[in-house]
Structure 1
């Protein structure tokens, strides 16, 4: 496939004619809406020939909530090895708290597509937020921990899950070792059913990186404890932070460079964001909050406001600014150029695969490029 950057005066028809391809294929690949306007600087994925014959084989995972649109899920499942359903919480006694909406339909669709449904375990408190007190209780009290593991095994068997993903955040530094031991204990139990256990890791660049996100995540211990790991290499640009790329490739590379010194490369999945942010300006810390948008929505905002899309050659990410109702905005998002950089990183380091947070919005061009770049493991 070819990535084409739109120039002034381009149209779908003129690009199609230049590459001797169907206009409909451009519209389909890039989810263009009638009347099929384009933004200068927009990256389009063009189907111009056969896929390469020599491709690495990788694992892929996507997180999704049970309120995902069925069409979006059905369109995405062919490109996923695993579907991590978000999420199951637990109580201070080790009882599981299922997601508020039914997840059985997602499990069924995943199995039909040859995708393994994965139970995602999170330490959510009553307010729906990560609660490190819950983590402390379960990793340090073996009776409660065993009850949680027993309930996990029962739920996996009852609903037909085919693995467990442990996504704990804000782990206290003093729980670093007990948390790794907990992951190892879950792995032993779930492996006995024939299924894997993965763990999500905050994006560290050193052993002693300060901060609540990092102190409780020991890359070496957790890499040994789990079957595989997800590097959460996103959220540099985030809702309450200053405008910047969500996953700048230079920062992502720093995390990978550190991770491979602590974890075997064939256990590492690179985290990839499937979203962007729209910040109102001027940015004021503690006051300004960005709006989360899909990647296709970002492009439509640029088109609607007749502004060009720019590309940061350091972050290797697209961005643009616009003004609406007297308020300036700055938008950062992902396109096929930024995704290609992440795929190149997976190839360069020979990583296990990719994990997407999250797949709630369809980004067809990404999936087509992924399949053009890699062979994807299916059941």
Structure 2
């Protein structure tokens, strides 16, 4: 089964790669940003490439629009303008061939819903070009509970159409809560996401996107602070907060007060991770895609080693 990890450069991520790379099948590094003219901003790291080669890890670099709502207009222009769209496809193909990558991952966020057909057309063009050269096409897609073409964040992603033009779809079944406190990815939410996904995507193409981080919500603040597992544990320990495991959500949580302001924390750990792994066999899904290396509970690697991913 595929054990896929997203990678963003950090000391913790590099240490993880060195220590646990033998358990990783594919690394999906955040390396190529799209520019307004359809060219790519190369952020690849030579030392990471060397480590991957030594450990025989396949590299599927991310082509991204910087995970930023400020890039909404840029991705709209790149997808809707036929010339720019063609230029972008050509540059991705040339990069993948030149660097001898076995595959690439498309991670476009904040795509306007009106670009739904444009995104599908882009994927068709890219898939046709890459598959002709023996290179795999994968795409990260937001979690959906049903097809909603008007949804401001996920409306552009037509699961049933896109699945025809990719080899793998990484369904990011997390961030269930963001503006308000709640589980990162409750087991019920993940199950509902998969219940819909398998009706429109062949299960063999699905990779379950799993989180290994946490969020710290400050009262009356709509954007939470991201925490790694270690940061969440250290925060609770330093404040004397009592961590509880919510059996319904299958996720850990605690609350605390600082300077008279209330905080709520939810985070993923080895127990919540294991609970979601159990869904793979139930839904006949052949792998996971984890966001992201360096943020996880280290005990997860023991589970992955035992399960021989």
Report SS of the residue matched to 2:31.
Answer: strand
Unmatched runs of 5 consecutive residues or more in structure 2? none
Structure-to-structure mapping, 1:116-265, within 5 angstroms: 116-124=58-66, 129=69, 131-208=71-148, 210-238=150-178, 241-265=179-203
Q: Which residue of 1 aligns with 2:9?
A: 66
Q: CA deviation at 1:235?
A: 0.9
Q: Which residue of 2 aligns with 1:96?
A: 40
Which has the higher Rg, Structure 1 or Structure 2? 1
Q: Which residue of 2 aligns with 1:302?
A: 236
Structure-to-structure mapping, 1:339-378, within 5 angstroms: 339-373=273-307, 375-376=308-309
Q: Contact (CA 8 Å) 1:107, 1:161: kept in 2 or not?
A: no
Q: CA deviation at 1:269?
A: 0.7
Tell which has more relative contact order, 1 or 2 (C-alpha 8 A, sep 6+). Answer: 1
- Residues 1:75 and 1:130: Cα distance change in structure 2 (over 3 Å): farther
Q: Count matched residues.
A: 308
Q: CA deviation at 1:135?
A: 2.6
d(CA) in 2 for partners of 1:192, 1:209: 30
d(CA) in 2 for partners of 1:215, 1:185: 20
Q: CA RMSD in A?
A: 2.0
Report SS of the residue matched to 2:60.
Answer: strand
Q: Which residue of 1 aligns with 2:212?
A: 274
**Which runs of structure 1 show a deviation greater than 4 angstroms over 4 or more consecutive aligned residues?**
none
Q: CA deviation at 1:258?
A: 0.3
d(CA) in 1 for partners of 2:242, 2:211: 22
Q: CA deviation at 1:68?
A: 4.4
Structure (1/2) with the larger helix percentage: 2
Report SS of the residue matched to 2:61.
Answer: strand
d(CA) in 2 for partners of 1:212, 1:76: 38
TM-score normalized with structure 1 length: 0.76
d(CA) in 2 for partners of 1:361, 1:78: 18
d(CA) in 1 for partners of 2:114, 2:222: 33
Q: Which residue of 2 aligns with 1:35?
A: none
d(CA) in 1 for partners of 2:102, 2:47: 15
Confirm or deny that 1:76 pairs with 2:20. Answer: yes
Q: CA deviation at 1:355?
A: 0.6
